[in-house]
């Protein structure tokens, strides 16, 4: 990666007045959480299951207990994870809005550590820290990751389920509206650890670009995104983000 590109990206960040981060699994990868599509090769039991089948309404209706047990295993993994240098670098920046595809709370943890917990975090794909009623009566509950409850029913008779977006489900309308509004008004979008190839999330980058924003992409793989206002940096988020923010901390 050219040093010039990094320098240019640092300058873009320094001049931004309404910056937004847009993150995916790569942001949390260095915190020891298996990225969703990789699953966990270490776990002999769960590696036999297909995440795409478990994380769906069909999978839940067919085997609700298995799906909840799988999520509770993921919650246990998350309970032991800590924010990495990339989360902390982002969290140290005042005035940022964070849009994430991640269902963990590592960015929130980092914001709490750095004391800048007023920055909003928009979870496009929901969160593992909450359950809601699958019968859509509107009831929801916060979950203790260390003691996630087994399969249980809501008072209305429906099953409780994790408040994450499953395959085939729409993104939460209010969250996507807020994210689109941010993408429209931002002057700098920092994209971290996502190939952003799935719509509608992928459209956020296009919205930002078409509204004149500068875009910086940090990922371990090259996206091949081109354009006068797009700067691509290839490498680990935990290394690159501290460098990007070196001058502003
Ligand atoms: Zn209910």
d(CA 103, CA 84) in angstroms, rounded, equals 16
User: What is the DSSP secondary-structure string of the chain?
Assistant: --HHHHHHHHHHHHH-SSEEEEE-HHHHGGGTPPPTTT--SS-TTGGGS-HHHHSBHHHHHH-HHHHHHHHHHHHHHHHT----HHHHHHHT-TT-EEEE---S-HHHHHHHHHT-TTS-EEETTEEEEEEEETT-SS-EEE--GGG---S-B-TTSPBEEEEEPPBTPPPPHHHHHHHHHHHHH-SEEEEES----STTTTHHHHHHHHTT-EEEEEESS-----STTEEEEES-HHHHHHHHTTTT-
* Centre of ligand 1 from the C-alpha of residue 142, in Å: 15
Residue range(s) defining the domain that contains residue 39 = 34-80+126-164
**pLDDT value, residue 40:** 52
How many independent structural domains does the chain possess?
Answer: 2
- State the CATH number of the domain containing residue 201: 3.40.50.1220
**In angstroms, what is the span from residue 223 Cα to ligand 1's centroid?**
42
Q: Which of 87, 98, 123, 125 is catalytic?
A: 125
CA–centroid distance, residue 135 to ligand 1 (Å): 5
41 and 22 in one domain? no
Same domain flag for 101 and 182: yes
| Residue 125 · residue 165 · CB < 8 Å | yes
How much is the pLDDT for 196?
73
Alpha carbon of 161 to ligand 1 centroid (Å): 10
CATH of the domain at 69: 3.30.1600.10
From 114, 135, 164, give the residue that closes a domain: 164
Same domain assignment for residues 114 and 133: no
Please tell me whether residues 9 and 72 are part of one structural domain. no
Asked if residue 226 and residue 106 are part of one domain, the reply reads yes
Of 188, 206, 220, nearest to 11 by C-alpha is 188
pLDDT score recorded for residue 35: 46
Residues 95 and 111 in one domain: yes
pLDDT of residue 53: 87
Q: Residue 125 catalytic? A: yes
Same domain, 178 and 210: yes
Structure tokens at 108: 């929130």
Question: In 3D, which of 137, 38, 25 has the Cα closest to residue 81?
Answer: 25
My answer on whether 75 and 43 are in the same domain is yes
Q: Which of 137, 164, 191 is the last residue of a domain?
A: 164
Distance 158 CA to ligand 1 centre (A): 5
pLDDT tens for each residue of the chain, 249 residues long: 577 889 999 999 999 999 999 999 999 988 876 544 455 554 667 777 888 889 999 999 999 999 999 999 999 889 989 999 999 999 999 999 999 999 999 999 999 999 877 889 999 999 999 999 999 999 999 999 999 999 999 999 999 999 999 999 999 999 999 999 999 999 999 999 988 777 777 899 999 999 999 999 999 988 776 677 889 999 999 999 999 998 554
pLDDT score recorded for residue 43: 62
Q: How far is the CA of 211 from the centre of ligand 1 (A)?
A: 41
CB 142 within 8 A of CB 136: no
237 within 8 A of 218, measured Cβ to Cβ: yes
Are both 53 and 111 inside the same structural domain? no
- In terms of domains, do 95 and 217 share one? yes
Domain boundary among 142, 164, 186: 164
- Clarify whether residues 76 and 177 are in a common domain: no
Same-domain status, 106 and 213: yes
């Amino acid at each position: 990666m050219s040093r010039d590109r990094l320098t240019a990206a640092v300058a873009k960040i320094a001049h931004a007045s309404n910056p937004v981060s847009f993150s995916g699994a790569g942001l949390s990868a260095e915190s020891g959480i298996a990225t969703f599509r990789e699953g966990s090769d270490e776990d002999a039991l769960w590696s036999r299951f297909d995440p795409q089948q478990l994380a769906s309404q069909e999978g839940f209706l067919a085997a609700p207990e298995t799906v909840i047990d799988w999520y509770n295993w993921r919650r246990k993994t998350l309970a032991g994870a800590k924010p990495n240098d990339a989360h902390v670098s982002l969290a140290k920046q005042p005035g940022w809005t964070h849009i994430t595809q991640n269902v963990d709370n590592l960015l929130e943890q980092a914001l709490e550590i750095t004391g800048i917990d007023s920055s909003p975090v928009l979870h496009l794909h929901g969160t593992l820290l909450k359950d809601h009623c699958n019968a859509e009566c509107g009831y929801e509950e916060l979950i203790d990751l260390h003691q996630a409850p087994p399969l249980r029913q809501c008072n209305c008779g429906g099953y409780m389920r994790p408040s994450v977006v499953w395959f085939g489900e729409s993104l939460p309308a209010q969250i996507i509206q807020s994210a689109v509004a941010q993408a429209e008004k931002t002057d700098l979008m920092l994209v971290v650890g996502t190939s952003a190839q799935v719509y509608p999330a992928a459209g956020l980058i296009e919205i930002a670009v078409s509204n004149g924003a500068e875009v910086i992409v940090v990922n371990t793989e090259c996206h091949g995104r081109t354009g006068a206002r797009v700067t691509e940096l290839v490498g680990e988020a935990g290394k690159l983000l501290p460098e990007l923010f070196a001058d502003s901390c």
